[in-house]
Amino acid sequence: MTGQGVVSSVGIGQDAFWSALKKGDCGIGEVSLFPTDELYITIAGEVKGFDPKERCGSKQFLLADRYSQFAGCAAQEAVEQSGLEMPLKGEEAYRAACIIGSGIGGISTMEMSYKALFEEKKRATHPLTLLKTIGSSAAAHVSIEYGITGPCFGVVSACSTAPHSIGVVYRMIREGMCDLGIGGASEASLNWGTTRAWQAMRVLSPDGLFPFAKNRNGTVLGEGAGVFVLEEYEYAKTRGANILAEIVGYGMTSDAADMVNPSIEGASSAMQIALDDAGLSPGEIDYINAHGTATTVNDVNETRAIRKVFGNAANNLAISSTKSMHGHCLGAGGGVEAVAAIKAIEENIIPPTIGFHEPDPECDLDYTPNEAREREVTYAMSNSFAFGGLNAVLIFGPAPA
């Protein structure tokens, strides 16, 4: 990992984002992006003050959906940090990948188009409506921006989209298909219709996102992006790149059981596969950035899955859910949270789980309540467990010596 970029409700750019997490700042508040009439859920993790003219590089992003603009912003930060000379050219361009996913793509563009047709009675939608809505638009825009002519597509796996996207690039590089790649995910699905749909499922909290706490009563929708530059080690070393961290393990499974209720077996298997891929024992993991959505079933099942995999070592883990601060960014969640995991390794600081005032007896691990904590972190795990039972786990380690 030689570059990373993030867009979130607590900060745009990794410095602002990480500073906010360490302070326990909360980006969840009253919605301003759309009217909340007829909604009883009126809070979200909105990205405030985002100007694509300043954040996204070329003008192509000005005509894109907000989710593609977030991806462009995060990619720009990641590429600048990596120090790669862009745009790529020739054989190098074909040896690069761009895999940027989204759980739902340009759904706000779609909602505005339906409003134009059915409410405002217009005869047609904006001519770029189709291009703005499709789930591969962000990947295409970023590949155009940086001249990436190798594999380019979007991944869709609900709340596991980001780690799946990053994992695809990881595997492409490891298997010799590519030398480098841009991987991650973006989401900008905060609108009236999406909130109504989530509200109907009775999984959203009107109060806040309180993972693992006794008073948790649902999750809170967020938006944002997490995008990374990955390189083959010798390739990065030859060009003198500053290596931030190394992906050492990746695991993915499917529950094949239920669309909504997560399974302990699926989550624990994904964690174990990631550990096996990394060649690590459970006791070597120092920090887990948990999926931690603050829904009743998910938090208990994730706790039990961790205990199943880690055994007695679970009692020595530092765990937190940074969703408590930035909200549930859906497909982008695992990308935003991967930035937190890598920064934890870099600075030996565990970000907190805020709003944790009374523990749930069934959630009996160390969730780093309310305040960040100093601790040596060599290996960090990031969990993502999506609707449909789609599980993805990444393990990060320090830059190779």
**What domains are there in the chain, each with its CATH number?**
3-238 (3.40.47.10), 248-397 (3.40.47.10)
Given the residues 26, 73, 328, 363, select the one marked as catalytic: 328
Q: What is the DSSP string of 254-266?
A: E--S-SSS--HHH
- The backbone torsions φ and ψ at residue 264, rounded to the nearest 5 degrees and listed phi first, read -70, -40
Q: Enumerate residues 6+ apart whose C-beta is below 8 A from 98.
A: 139, 142, 143, 146, 148, 150, 151, 152, 181, 182, 183
How far is residue 202's CA from residue 213's CA, in Å, rounded to a whole number?
A: 18
159 catalytic residue (yes or no): yes
Residues in a beta bridge with 4: 228
The CA distance from 279 to 181, in Å, is: 24
Evaluate whether 315 touches 302 at the Cβ level (below 8 Å).
Answer: no
> Using only C-alpha atoms, what is the Rg of the chain?
20
Nearest to residue 359, comparing CAs of 271, 307, 299? 299
Q: Of 141, 152, 178, 291, which is the active-site residue?
A: 291
Helix (H) or strand (E) segment spanning residue 17 = helix 14-23
Confidence of residue 87 (pLDDT cuts 50, 70, 90): very high
Q: Token pair for residue 16? A: 């602002």
CA distances from 400 to 106, 114, 334, 344 (A): 38, 51, 23, 17
Torsion, Cα 382 269 158 244, to 10 degrees, reads 30
- Whether 152 is catalytic: no
Compute how many other C-beta atoms are within 10 angstroms of the C-beta atom of residue 359: 14
**Quick one: pLDDT band at residue 206, thresholds 50, 70, 90?**
very high
Residue % of the chain over a pLDDT of 70 = 100
User: Does 115 have pLDDT greater than 90?
Assistant: yes
Rounded to whole angstroms, the Cα distance separating 108 from 272 reads 37
Catalytic residue of the set 56, 159, 178, 329: 159
pLDDT band at residue 401 using 50, 70 and 90 as cut-offs: confident
At residue 208, the 3 state secondary structure works out as: coil
Q: Rounded to whole angstroms, how far apart are CA atoms 57 and 69?
A: 10
User: For residue range 161-176, what is the model confidence (pLDDT) as tens digits?
Assistant: 999 999 999 999 999 9
Tens digits of residue pLDDT in 222-246: 999 999 999 999 999 999 999 999 9
- Whether the model pTM is above 0.75: yes
DSSP strand E in 259-299: where? 287-289
Helix ranges, 33-136 (H): 52-55, 66-82, 90-94, 107-114, 129-133
Cβ–Cβ < 8 Å for 28, 220: yes
Average pLDDT value for residue range 29-42: 96
| Residue 243, Cβ density class (10 Å: 0-12 exposed, 13-18 middle, ≥19 buried) | middle
Indicate if the pLDDT at residue 57 is higher than 90.
Answer: no
pLDDT in tens, 335-377: 999 999 999 999 999 999 999 999 999 999 999 999 999 999 9
Averaged confidence pLDDT in the chain: 97
Is 291 considered catalytic here?
yes
Alpha-carbon distance of 263 to 255, in angstroms, equals: 6
